[in-house]
Chain A
């Protein structure tokens, strides 16, 4: 696609429920990143996919968070048993190679846990 597409744009969920956030990167971009942006905070790295390599999960805050990337394209970030502190904007970005080229960001998914 022309840009990085994320869905849904907004998600309100009850505490304890599971949520899935989707990211469709730019066609041909081998690298895909998930970040989290909390109110008044910077961007917190969550997970990185590069081609068919094993993902770098070093930023995931707990085992309630997981992500997968199917066919080297679309990615899904799953948060199980959501907590109020998970409320944030979840950003997806893609890059044609490594992060050294810079990223193209999606518009994000605003997650609110009530």
Chain B
């Protein structure tokens, strides 16, 4: 069965620090990859997605992610975080042998002002 792993469960950063959240998936075939964000008290929102083409994907609010097929990874990055980036971040993967997204366990990010 496909799985998605997020190894960082909690991350604490100061404002202006750089961010990288890890995501690895297990499926070896064609996958679509996603990062979702859940701000405190809000619903899950799509940050960015990768289907094909350029492995460096840019999303909203200055976030980007890089698909590295050889490492089965899709890490999320942001050069300089803000306090407003405090949220929980979920990586998800879809492959067409299944019908739904498989989500990682989430990473809680706290940015200290």
Contacts and interface: CB of A to CB of B under 8 A. Distances in A.
Interface of A: 31, 33, 35, 41-43, 45, 48, 50, 56, 91, 93, 98-100, 102-108
Interface size class of B (residues with CB under 8 A): 20 to 34
Contacts of B17: none
B25 interface: no
A45 B90 CA distance: 14
A32 B24 CA distance: 26
A31 B99 CA distance: 9
A102 B49 contact: yes
Contact of A98 (B45, B90, B99): B99
Contact of B43 (A43, A56, A100, A105): A105
Contacts of B105: 41-42
Name B's interface SS.
loop
Nearest to B100: A99
A106 B100 contact: no
Interface of B: 32, 34, 36, 42-46, 49, 51, 90, 94, 96, 98-106
Contacts of B96: 98, 100
A98 B44 CA distance: 18
Given A42-B90, A42-B106, A43-B90, A99 B101 contact: yes
A91 B100 contact: no
Contacts of B34: 102
15 contacts: A42-B103, A48-B100, A91-B43, A93-B44, A98-B99, A99-B94, A100-B96, A102-B32, A102-B94, A103-B46, A103-B101, A105-B36, A105-B43, A105-B44, A105-B45
Nearest to B96: A100
Nearest to B43: A107
